[in-house]
Chain A
């Protein structure tokens, strides 16, 4: 009688907690998965050749020198916010006729200008809403 009782013990692996274990693993992988997205500021470089004459009224010139000082249309800019305001008014004046922005913003840097400064200016120009941006080659 005793022996029979022993035989009735279930010898299967309990699978009821299997789902929980799998869930735990699933959550672990969900959390550790990092979608490494590439991000940046998109730009289109000018193609070789094909110079186009543009009405000088439609160009806003930004010149950045080696120490990071900015010249906007020949006027020195003391603070970056000022540049954005000036650019926004220029864009209002000369842009958005028939929904198309006319103004081209040209950014010219010195060869010794820091890349960080250039990105800051480019960021400002993009923030002001300029869509046509041209990068001028620094003088050698």
Chain B
């Protein structure tokens, strides 16, 4: 009788292991976003107080380089028609009132340009901004 009991199989069933692994694999394949960010080439300044922005969903992007090329959510805005900025941002803000505007500005840009953009944002009542920066110092 005792002998019969010991004959019970004790191994973990591994037959379904590939299925589980494939499931995980598909999950990662689907969630991986291979997105080539295009934009104006620029270098953001570095700062110690760089913080991560919690949600990507509530973000609008404004890019600007030192020559005055400005894009708002990948749309080019000319220097002479800056009011475009507040128009686009206000539309975004209507859809999502938790909007944060990420200002990706080249470190060589002048404050005059930054102020002009900020004024446009104030016109659009988009007061929550984030200056895109890199982590300063060792490590990331």
- Contact: B51 with A42, CB < 8 Å? yes
Please, which residues of chain A bring their CB within 8 A of the CB of B111? 109-115, 118, 138
- Contact: A29 with B47, CB < 8 Å? no
- Contact: B130 with A40, CB < 8 Å? yes
Within 8 A of B (CB), among A29-51: 29-30, 32-33, 36-48
- Bound complex: CA of A120 vs CA of B48, how far in Å? 9
Q: Which residue of A lies closest to B135 (CB)?
A: A39
Does any Cβ of B come within 8 Å of A86's Cβ?
no
Interface SS, A side: mixed
A: number of interface residues (CB 8 Å): 42
- Contact: A115 with B107, CB < 8 Å? yes
- Contact: A47 with B115, CB < 8 Å? no
Please, which residues of chain A bring their CB within 8 A of the CB of B31? 33
Q: Given A40-B50, A42-B128, A48-B123, does the pair A111, B110 have CB atoms closer than 8 Å?
A: yes
Please, which residues of chain B bring their CB within 8 A of the CB of A37? 52-53
Binds A, one of B5-13, B16-24, B72-80: B16-24
Does any Cβ of A come within 8 Å of B3's Cβ?
no
- Bound complex: CA of A33 vs CA of B132, how far in Å? 22
Does any Cβ of B come within 8 Å of A52's Cβ?
no
Q: Which residue of A lies closest to B132 (CB)?
A: A40
Does any Cβ of B come within 8 Å of A127's Cβ?
yes
- Contact: A22 with B22, CB < 8 Å? yes
Contact of A112 among B21, B47, B112 (CB under 8 A): B112
- Contact: A118 with B114, CB < 8 Å? yes
Please, which residues of chain A bring their CB within 8 A of the CB of B22? 22
A–B Cβ pairs within 8 angstroms, 11 of them: A19-B14, A22-B22, A26-B21, A30-B28, A40-B50, A41-B51, A42-B130, A45-B127, A47-B127, A115-B109, A137-B115
Query: Which 6 A-B residue pairings sit nearest by Cβ, starting from the closest?
Result: A111-B112, A116-B107, A40-B130, A22-B21, A123-B47, A119-B45
Q: A37-B52, A39-B50, A40-B132 are in contact. List 9 more A-B contacts (CB 8 A).
A: A26-B28, A37-B53, A38-B56, A41-B131, A42-B130, A44-B128, A111-B112, A113-B110, A119-B45
